[in-house]
Chains A and B, each alone.
Chain A
Amino acid sequence: MKKIIIGIFTVIYFAALLPAAQLPLKRVKLTSSFGESRKDHFHNGIDFGGGEQDIYPVMDGNIVFYYDRAEFPFDNDMGSGNMVIVQHDDRYRSYYFHIKEGTVNKTHMAVTETNVLGRTGDTGHSYGIHLHFSMEELNPLNMVNPLKFFKDQMEDRIRPTINGYYVRINESQPVLINGNLRLKENSKIVMILKCFDLAAFSGNRMGVYRIETYVNDKLFSDIKFEKLLYRDNTYYLPPNLLFQDLYLSKDEYILGEFTPDEGSHKVKIKVSDYWGNESSIERDIIFNKAEPVSEE
C-alpha cells in the first residue's frame, strides 16, 4: 500500500514538472535544432517545415503579445516577422514566428489547444515557409529545448554524422586528425569536432543535441543543448559557455583544451541526437619527448 501511494505521488510530481504539450503543427518536419549556430548567436528554438498550415498553441494559455506587420506597413521588418507569444500560467512562454500575413490571431486573448494562432509563412527574416518555435521558462528566464515537450510525438532513427576531429596546437590552425596524434613538446591542445545531425523528417543538416568527450575514460566535457541560461543580457550554454566559446563555425564545435602529460591519452567522443541515436570516434594523443611530432 505504501508503495502504491509513493508511486502515485511520484507520478503526480513528475506530471507537475513537465506539462503535457501538443505539437504546434499537424504536419511536422524538423528543419533546425535548438542551440545550433546562427553565425554569431545560438538558435534559441527549433524550426518546423511542412508547408503552409495552421499553427496551434502547444498548451492552453493567453496571447500576451502579437506583431502583425500589416498594422505597421511602413516600418522595417522585425526579424521574427509576424508573431504571437502565448503565456502558459507563470511557467512558460511559447513563441511562434514568421506567421503569414493576414492570419495573425488578434481576436482571442485566452486560447486553448484548438484555437488557431495563424498560418505558417515566411514573414521577417526567413528563407521559406516555416515556423520558428521557442519555449521559455519564466522563473528563472531560460530558453528550453522544445523537443523536451515533443520527443515522444516525433521519431528519428538517423545517427549524427561526424565529419572530422581536429586539433589546434598552441594557437596554430586546426589540423584534421585521421589517425593518432604524436607530440614531442608539451603543448596546449584545443579539440574541435565537425559534425551535424541529419533530420529524418526533412533531410536538413542540423546541429547535434549532445557531445560527450572522454579522455582516458574520464568525462572531459559534456556539451548538451538542453537549455540556454539567460544572464547578463546574453545566453549561456550551461554551465558557462558563450556562443564564441563553443562554435568555430556552423558545424564545428570546440570541445575544450588540455595540456597532456607525457604518455598516451585515449580520446573518445560520442555525438547524439535528441532521440539517443549516437555516433562516436576514438583517437590517441601520444606525447613522447623523444619522438618527433607526427600523425599516424
Chain B
Amino acid sequence: MNFHLIRTLIFFVLFMLFIPINYFIRHEPFLIWQLNKNDPRDLKQDQFHLAKAGALKKYFFRKKGMIHFINSAGEAQKSYSLGDNAKVTYGTGESGVIYYLKDGEKIFFLDRDKGTTWNFETYAYPFMTGNESCIMLITGENGGYSLLDPKPREESKFIASGSLLVSYSVAFHTNRIAAGFINGSVMCHNSKMDTLWEKRFKESQIPLVKKVAVSPRGEYVACLAGLNQEYLYVMDQRGKLVTRHMTGDERRRPMELVFSMDSRFLLEESERGFRLYKVGRTGPVLEKNIFEKSPDRKMTGMDVSHDGEMILLSYKMDGMSCVELYAREGSMLYRLLFDEKNVRVLFSKDKYSFFIETGDTIYLYGI
C-alpha cells in the first residue's frame, strides 16, 4: 500500500470534517415546484397555509373547503371535503392528523389516510392547536383553554380562565404544551392534562409573557417576557430556569421564537433581525446576534433548518416582500423578492429545502 496515498486520504477526510457543511451547498436556492391557486383568495376568510403536519414528507393545504395532502414533490395525494364553514387547525406531530371545527361547536379529527374518523362536541372554542397526544382548545376573550385527549371521549379539562393567554406552543414530537400569559406566568402541561409546572417571572414591574416555544422533544420551554426590560427565559422539563438572558429589546408585540427540529438551536426574532442560541447541556447560549440597521423592515416570519445551520427570514419593505437565507455563522447567502403583501417561510423537516407561501402560491425551493 502506498503510504503517501493513505496519508493523503486521511488528511483529506480530516479536512472535510472541519469544513462547514454550507460550503458544499449551492447558495443559490433553486425552485423545485410551485403550486398556484386558480382563484384569488381572501386572507381573512380562507387561510391557505402550509404546515409541518405529521411525519416526514406529509404536508397539506386548505383551499375553499377542501383539504389537500401533498408530498414534498408537490404531488397531490389525497383530498377531503370539509364544507365551507369548517375552520381548520393543523395538528403537529408524527401522525399527520388534522383537527377542524365545524358549525362552531364540533371538532372533527381527520386522518390523512382514513379520512374523518371521529367528532367531538364541545363549547364554542374557536381556536385549536395540538398533536396526536393532545388538543388544546382556546376560548375567546378570557384566554382560558381546555386540554383534550384526542380519542373519542367526552371528558376534557378546563385549565385556566385566568390571565389573558398570549402565546401557546405544542411540542412536535411529544406531549408537551406550553402557555404564556399576560400576568407573567408560563404553564406546561402533558397530554393527560396535568399541569407539570408553572413559572412566574418577577422583574421590577409586573411582567408579561409575549411568546413561548416548546422544543420538539419537550426538553425545553423558552419564553420572552418583560416590560421595560425584556428577557429570554428557558426552562427545562421540570420547570427549572436554565437560562435568563436580557435581550436588550423593549418590544410590545409578540415575535417569533422557534427551536430547530433537533432541539439544538433556538431562533429568536429581534427588533431588526434575529438571534441564534445554541442549546447546550445547561440551556441555550447566545451564539449570534444579527441585526439590520434599516428601520423600515417589518418582519413577517422566520424559521430555522432542522439542524440549525440555516435561517430564513421574511419581511416587508418598500411594498415588497423579501426572503433572506442566512448561514448559521451570520452571513446572508441569498435574497428573494416577491411582489406580494405577505410571505411566510418554512423549512422542510429533514433536508435543505424550504417553502415560501404567498397569497396565491406555494413555492418549494432547494438549496
Query: Is B164 in contact with chain A by the CB < 8 A criterion?
Result: yes
**Is residue A73 within 8 Å, beta carbon to beta carbon, of the partner chain?**
yes
A66 touches B253 (CB 8 A): yes
On whether A77 and B300 interact (CB within 8 A), knowing A41-B142, A66-B252, A235-B161, the answer reads no
Q: How many A-B residue pairs have CB under 8 A?
A: 123
Q: Which residues of A contact B344 (CB under 8 A)?
A: 73-74
> Which A65-103 residues have C-beta < 8 A from chain B?
65-68, 71-74, 76-80, 85, 87, 90, 93, 95, 97
Residues from chain B with a CB closer than 8 A to the CB of A126 are 140
**Smallest distance from the beta carbon of B284 to chain A beta carbons, Å?**
24
Smallest Cβ distance from B233 to chain A, in angstroms? 17
Contact digits for B59-88, partner A, Cβ 8 Å, 1 yes 0 no: 000000000000000000000000000000
**A39 interface contact, C-beta 8 A:** yes
Q: Mark A193-224, 1 if CB is under 8 A from B, else 0.
A: 00000000000000000000000000000000
Known: A73-B342, A95-B164, A234-B160. A80 touches B43 (CB 8 A): no
Q: Are A72 and B89 in contact, with the CB atoms below 8 A?
A: no
B162 CB contacts on chain A under 8 angstroms: 230, 233-235
Residues on B with C-beta less than 8 A from A138 are 206
Contact of A80 among B49, B128, B143 (CB under 8 A): B143
Q: Top 7 A-B pairs ranked by shortest CB distance? A: A125-B140, A79-B140, A41-B161, A233-B160, A74-B344, A73-B342, A39-B123
Are A67 and B127 within 8 A (Cβ)?
A: no
- Interface secondary structure of B, over-half rule: loop
CA distance A230 to B142 in the complex (A): 12
- Quick check: A44 and B210 within 8 Å, CB to CB? no
Residues of B within 8 A of A (CB): 43, 47, 49, 89, 123-124, 126-129, 138-144, 146, 158-166, 182-183, 185, 187, 195, 198, 205-206, 208, 210, 227, 252-254, 298, 300-301, 342, 344, 357
Task: Judge whether A90 and B205 touch: CB under 8 Å.
Answer: yes
**Which residue of A41, A45, A76, A234 is within 8 Å of B139 (Cβ)?**
A41
With CB as the reference atom, state the residue of chain A lying closest to B156: A40
Nearest opposing residue in chain B for A230, CB measure:
B162
Question: Shortest Cβ distance from B355 into chain A, in angstroms?
Answer: 11
Q: Is the CB of B141 within 8 A of A97?
A: yes
Beta-carbon contact of B49 and A85 below 8 Å = no
Chain A residues within an 8 Å CB radius of B160: 233-234
Flag if B141 contacts A79 (CB, 8 Å): yes
A residues engaging B (CB < 8 A)?
Answer: 38-45, 63-68, 71-74, 76-80, 85, 87, 90, 93, 95, 97, 106, 109, 124-126, 132, 134, 138-139, 141, 230, 233-235, 243
| A65 CB contact (under 8 Å) in B123, B143, B198, B210 | B210
Q: How far, in whole Å, are A227 and B165 apart by their CA atoms in the complex? A: 19
Beta-carbon contact of B47 and A141 below 8 Å: no
Chain A residues near B206: list those with CB within 8 A.
Answer: 87, 90, 138-139, 141
CB-CB under 8 A from A73, the residues of chain B are 43, 300, 342, 344
Cβ contacts under 8 Å, A76 to chain B: 89, 127-129
15 more CB-based (< 8 A) A-B contacts, given A66-B253, A234-B160: A39-B123, A40-B139, A41-B139, A41-B142, A42-B161, A43-B141, A44-B161, A45-B141, A64-B252, A65-B210, A67-B254, A68-B253, A90-B206, A97-B141, A233-B159
**A40 and B357 contacting across the interface, CB-CB below 8 Å:** no
Cα of A106 to Cα of B254 in the assembled complex, Å: 13
Complex CA distance for A77 and B165, rounded to whole angstroms: 12
Q: With A65-B208, A67-B253, A233-B187 in contact, do A80 and B159 touch (Cβ < 8 Å)?
A: no
Contacts of B298 in A (CB 8 A): 71
Instruction: Judge whether B141 and A124 touch: CB under 8 Å.
Output: yes
What are the residues of chain A within 8 A of B357 when measuring CB–CB?
74
Closest chain-A Cβ to B91's Cβ sits at a distance in Å of: 12
| B129 in contact with A85 (CB, 8 Å) | no
> Which secondary structure dominates where chain A touches chain B?
loop
Q: How far is the CA of A41 from the CA of B145 in the complex (A)?
A: 10
For B301, what are the chain A residues with a Cβ–Cβ distance below 8 Å?
74
Tell me, rounded to whole Å, the shortest Cβ–Cβ distance linking B301 to chain A.
Answer: 7
> What B residues does A93 contact at CB under 8 A?
182
Instruction: Look across to chain B and name the residue whose beta carbon is closest to the beta carbon of A63.
Output: B252
Interface contact A109-B253, CB-CB below 8 Å? no
B140 lies within 8 A of A80 (CB): yes
Are B126 and A77 in contact (CB-based, < 8 A)?
Answer: yes
- Closest-by-CB residue of A relative to B256 is A72
Q: How far, in whole Å, are A159 and B200 apart by their CA atoms in the complex?
A: 43
For B164, what are the chain A residues with a Cβ–Cβ distance below 8 Å? 80, 85, 95
Shortest beta-carbon distance, B137 to chain A, in Å? 10
Complexed CA–CA distance, A76 and B43 (Å): 11
A72-B140 in contact (CB<8A): no
In contact, B127 and A77 (Cβ under 8 angstroms):
yes
Residues of A within 8 A of B254 (CB): 67, 72
User: B227 touching A79 by the CB < 8 A rule?
Assistant: no
Q: Are A141 and B253 touching (Cβ within 8 A)?
A: no
Contact call B141/A74, Cβ cutoff below 8 A: no
- CB pair A65–B142 under 8 Å, yes or no, is no
Whole-angstrom CA separation of A44 from B195 in the bound complex = 23
Closest Cβ neighbor of B167 among chain A residues = A78
Known: A38-B139, A141-B163, A233-B198. A65 touches B252 (CB 8 A): yes
Check B198–A42 contact: CB distance below 8 A: no
Residue on A with the closest CB to B299?
A71
A141 touches B183 (CB 8 A): yes
